[in-house]
């Protein structure tokens, strides 16, 4: 009986010692794995300040540079605004030169009256050119234009207007309709910072609409 008790006690002691050794081994292995970086405990400061973004959300996030480059393409760049001013002032000169020629040819006061208004229109655009340090593109000679499209149009309208007073009034209608269309297009493309150009263009637009009505009254008589 005593022998059995001793054997049981020896076994109990052995089990305790083995358990202690196993515990020490597990702890040692744990520290070794952690030291080799196999277990990673995230820094609390990083997890608190990080934003979880799924792959789908990441793809949907706008690229800042791309977004800036895609800002409304309808707005006129600075160079285009300069081109617009150069074209509009020559277009106003075309109206002046044609009306002067038609008044000389037919003597209708509607041409002389609107001709004076066209001088005012040119002066308003010229003030904008000067404020932006843009050279005046106009020729000092009547019927001469730097823009070749306007040059061809002038020659065509003069030929038409010289046929009769009625054709001359039709020429006036054509000029004012062209002015109105061009001004509306350019106004729609102006940047909000170009309020000075917008104010002038809207003034010219209002004047052209009145001129158009005047020529149409002549045709309706």
Q: Model confidence over 137-179: pLDDT tens digits?
A: 999 999 999 999 999 999 999 999 999 999 999 999 999 999 9
DSSP state of 53: -
pLDDT at 56 over 50: no
User: Which of 53-57, 77-81, 116-120 is predicted with the least confidence, judged by mean pLDDT?
Assistant: 53-57
Rounded Cα gap, residues 81 and 189, in angstroms: 9
pTM > 0.75: yes or no? no
Rounded Cα gap, residues 187 and 177, in angstroms: 15
- Look at residues 215, 219, 217 and name the one whose alpha carbon lies nearest to residue 118: 215
CATH H-level superfamily of 78-220: Ferritin, core subunit, four-helix bundle (1.20.1260.10)
C-alpha pair distances (Å), 85 with each of 126, 127, 182? 9, 11, 11
Q: 157: which 2 tokens?
A: 């309208």
């Amino acid at each position: 009986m005593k022998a059995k008790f001793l054997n049981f006690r020896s076994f109990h002691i052995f089990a305790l010692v083995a358990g202690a050794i196993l515990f020490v081994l597990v702890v040692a292995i744990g520290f070794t794995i952690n030291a080799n970086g196999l277990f990673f405990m995230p820094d609390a400061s990083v997890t608190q300040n990080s934003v979880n973004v799924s792959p789908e959300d990441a793809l949907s996030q706008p690229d800042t540079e791309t977004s800036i480059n895609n800002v409304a393409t309808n707005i006129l760049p600075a160079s285009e605004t300069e081109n617009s001013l150069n074209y509009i002032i020559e277009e106003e000169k075309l109206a002046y030169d044609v009306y002067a020629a038609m008044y000389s040819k037919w003597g209708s006061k509607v041409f002389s009256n609107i001709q004076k208004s066209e001088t005012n229109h040119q002066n308003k655009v010229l003030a904008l050119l000067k404020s932006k340090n843009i050279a005046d593109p106009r020729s000092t000679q009547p019927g001469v234009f730097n823009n070749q499209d306007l040059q061809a149009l002038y020659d065509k309208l003069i030929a038409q207007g010289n046929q009769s007073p009625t054709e001359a009034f039709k020429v006036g209608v054509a000029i004012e309709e062209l002015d109105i269309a061009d001004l509306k297009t350019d106004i729609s493309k102006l940047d909000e910072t170009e309020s000075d150009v917008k104010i002038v263009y809207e003034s010219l637009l209002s004047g052209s609409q009145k001129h158009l009505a005047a020529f149409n009254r002549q045709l309706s008589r």
